[in-house]
Amino acid sequence: MTDSIDLSIPRVIVCIVCPNGCRIHCEGTEDGVRFTGQKCKRGESYAAAELTRPMRSLTTSVRTAFAEAPVVSVRTDGEVEKSMLQEISSALGQIVVTSRVKIGDVIAKNICGTGVNVICTSDRLVHPY
């Protein structure tokens, strides 16, 4: 059960934790929220988080200073609040990578104060061809 959530209209959340994709019905009760339809406990945790503080990973690319590889792919090394995705995307839009980074190298530390780093996911700058 979870409380402090307005569920005057019941919601259905599709769990994305595993490929089963359970449809979890979230219904307000006097005691909080009742979750039904999930096949396991992880689904209830996921639905509760979606209702209160949805989190996401971000995968995107940033510009580089190298003509043979003008962009390089990156991702967050953890989840950030979904509400921060636009701000993080804008911050990454200001970045130009000027060194030949490789997979796992940190591109932006503690992006937008989230405590999460943005790391490189490609060796394109060390093996451009």
Interaction site with ligand SF4 (CB under 6 A): 15, 17-18, 20-22, 38-40, 42-43
Closer residue to ligand SF4, CB minimum distance, 18 or 126: 18
Chain residue whose CB lies nearest ligand SF4: 43
Strand (E) positions, the chain?
Answer: 11-14, 23-29, 32-36, 55-56, 59-64, 71-76, 80-81, 96-97, 106-108, 118-120
Least separation in angstroms between CB 34 and ligand SF4: 15
Least separation in angstroms between CB 13 and ligand SF4: 10
Q: Virtual CA dihedral for 33, 78, 61, 87, nearest 10 degrees? A: 60
Task: For residue 119, list its beta bridge partners.
Answer: 75, 106
Closer residue to ligand SF4, CB minimum distance, 15 or 101: 15
Closer residue to ligand SF4, CB minimum distance, 44 or 105: 44
Least separation in angstroms between CB 31 and ligand SF4: 21
Least separation in angstroms between CB 75 and ligand SF4: 22
Both tokens assigned to 123: 């060796």
Residue whose tokens read 């060796």: 123
Closer residue to ligand SF4, CB minimum distance, 43 or 74: 43
| Enclosing H/E stretch for 94 | none
